[in-house]
Structure 1
Amino acid sequence: MAIHNATWRDVDGERIVGTWRPAFIRNGGSYFLTDLLIYADGMVDCWGLETLEGFADKLASKWVVTDVPEGTRVSAHHLGSWKAAEPHFYLTPEMLLGEVRDTVDDLNHRPNSTARCLAALDIFLAEPTEPNRAAAREAYEAIPEHLRHYALGDMDNKDHPLKALVYGPGSQIELWNGEALDVTEETLAWALEYFAKREQARQDYADKKPADGPTEPVETSIVIEERVFPRGWPEDPGKMALRNECPAPILIGDRTYPTVTHAYWALAVTDEQRRAEIRAADRTYDARKIAEDSARHENWPQARVAIMTRLLRAKFQQHPDYAEILLATGATRLIYHEGGSSFWGQHGRDGRNWMGRLLELVRSELAAGRLDMPI
C-alpha cells in the first residue's frame, strides 16, 4: 500500500491527509496511467472526488480498471504513451477496492483488515473453538487477496501458519508457489508452535531496553517562552534563566556582554563602533535593532550556529547556578519560543527550534562533564 506517499486537500479550512497509488482510468476507449488520491475522510479522487461507494461504482463501470487489454495504447499525461504488449496485472477490482478501504483505515490510524484478522486470531488462540476459528477465517478472507501473504510480515513462511489455523484440520491450503498442502495434525502443531514463538519474540522485543536509552524524551516537553518583565528580571528567574535575554554577563575574549543576545548581535556585525553600541544597549530588543541596521559578516548564516553554541557554553560555564537549572530539565525536549526568528525558535508546528536543540546539546555536555571517564 502507498501510505507513505503523503498528500492532502483543504476542506473548509481543515487539512484532510491523504496518499496515492497508481491505477488505470478508461475514458472513452482510451486508457490512462494515473494516480488515485485517497483521503482520510473516505474520498477518492479518480479524476473527480468520489465516496468509497462511488469509487466502487467507478470500478464496476470500468472507469477505474486494474488491467489493460493487449495491444491497447496507454497514455501517461506529460510523460508519454505506449502499446501494451504481453501485459500481466496483479489486481482484480475487488482487490483494489479492499486495498483502498484499508488505506482509509491506515490514514485514520484504525485497524485495517490485516490487523482485524490478527486480533480475531488472538481470540482463537486464547480459546480455540470452531466459532472462533470461523471468525478468524472470515477476517482472513476479508484481507485483499494480494495482501494476505504479508499479514504476518514473514517473507519466509508468508501466511502459511495463519492459513493452516484458520482453515483447520482436514483442509487443503495453497502455498505461495502454487502447491497445495494438506493441513494435518502435524501441520497444526507446527502452526501453533510458530505463533507461540512469535508471541514470545514480540513480548521480548516489547520488554527490551535499548542499551543507549530511549530515542525520545520520556517526559513532557519544556517550553521556554518569551516574556517581558517591566519591573526588571526576577532575582530567581527559574527556567527563564535559559532565555538568551536573561541578564547573565559573559566574558568573550576581552569583552563582557550583558546577555547572550547582546554578544550574538555584537559578533554578527562588522563595524566596531556598532559592536560597542550593541554591547551598551539597555535592552536586548535595542541590540537586535542596531544589528538589523548594520552590515553583518558575509558568511554569518553559515557561522551563526557555531557562534551561538560557543556563547551558550560560555554562559553556563560562567554561571553555574544557571547550569543547574539547565541540568534540572533532565533529558526532555526543549522548545524555545522566538517570535523574531523561525530559525532559532518554534511556535506550534512552525520553526526549526535550533535554540532548543543547542540548549539540549550544552545540557548534555554539562552532564558528560560530571561523568567519571576520560573524555
Structure 2
Amino acid sequence: MSSLAWIDFDEAERQRAQRIMALFQERETRDELGMGAIRDSIADHLFPGTSTIQTRLRYMLFIPWLYRALEKREVPEAQLRTEARDTEIRLADALKAGGESNGIIGRDAGPRLQRLPSSVYWAGLGAWGIRVFPGSLDSLFVALRGRGRSRGASSGEDALAGAQTPAVWNPALPQMPGDLLEHAVFRLTTDEAQFLIDRLIASQPTALLTMLAREGIDAGCDYIWTHPHLSAFPSAARRLVQHGEIFSHVMHGAALLYNLALSELRQRDDWIEDYRARLGAWSDELDTGAVRAWSLDDFWNVVEHPAHAVRPAAKRFISEWRDLVLAGTEQVISAPAARRLVEERERRLKTSQSRYANHAVRDRWTGASGADRLSFRWAQAKSHLRDLAHAE
C-alpha cells in the first residue's frame, strides 16, 4: 500500500498540488498526448472557476450555506469533519426530496460518496470570490478548530489568534433557506443569481463567462465557437475562442489517430472501422486555409496562464503535427511520420505505462481515450449560464 504525505509547502503550492491530484479523477481530463495544460489554460481564461465535474450552479451557494452553519459548532476537528461529510450527504437526500434527479452529487452513492460537493466546488468558490478564506478545505477545518479553542481560552494570546482568523465567506452571501436539508432544489432565486453575477463581475471582470452571465445569455450550442453571439464577444475573448477552435480541431486528428493505432494493436475491426470513419470526417471538415493562417506564436501568447505551464515538448509536438496536417490530411491516417509522432509522444509521457509498449495496459484499454474534441469546459459553463438565466 502506498501513501501520500504533504511536505510543508506554502499554501499556494499545497492548493496547486491538490488541484492537480483532483484533475486525475475527472473523466474528461484524460490527457493521453500531453495537451492538458493548454486545454486548461484556455478553459481558465474563458470560464474561470469551472471544472468538468461540476453539475449545477446552486452548489456554489449550498457549500457556503452548509459550512457557515457548521462554523458555529464548538466541537473537535474530527467531529467537525464528520458532521460536514454527513451534512453534504444529507443534501443529496434533500435534493431528491425536492424533486431533483439530474446533477445531484452523491445521488446513488449515498454514504459511500468519495468526492464530496465541497471538494468539487472549492476552487471555484475561491475563483468567484464567494470564498474569501484563502486556504484549502483541510486548512479551514484546522482554522475552525483554532477558533473553537480561542472561544474557551483564557489567555490573551489565544483570544488574539482567534480574532485574527480570516473570514470564510463573502459577507453578501444570501441567507440559507431554513429547510435546506429537508427539501432543496437547484433553481436559483433572482437574488441568488444576482449575487453570483456580482461575484463574477468583481472577481473575474474580463472573463467571457462574466460577460455572458451579466448579459443573461443562454445558448444551447455544442461548442463556444458556434455561439450565436460570437460576433458580440469582447475582442480578446473572441480571439481566444478562434484560437481554441483551430487548436481543438487540428489536435482532434492526433487523438483519433492514437485511438486508431491502439485499435489496430488490439485487432478490433469494429473499432478500426469507426476511427477510420471519424478520421475521414475530421479531414473533410478541417479548414486547411484557417490552419495555414493560424499563428502559433500568437496562440502561445494568448493561452499563457499563470496556473499552467506549457512545456517546450508540447509546443514542438503541436507544431510538428500541424505541419503534417498541412502536408495533407488524407495521408495522416497512414503516414509513417504522423503515426511515429503520436507514438513517440505517448511513449515519452507514459513511459512504462505506454499502451504501445505495455501489453497488459493495452489489454485493459476499452476503446476510447480522449477521443472527443476539446470543448474547454463549455458544457459546464453553459449549464451554469442556463441556471442563471432561469432564476425565479
Question: What TM-score range do you get, normalising by the shorter chain?
Answer: under 0.3
Q: Report the structure number with the largest CA radius of gyration.
A: 1
Q: Which has the higher helix share?
A: 2
Q: Which has the higher strand share?
A: 1
Relative CO higher for 1 or 2, CA cutoff 8 Å, sep ≥ 6?
2
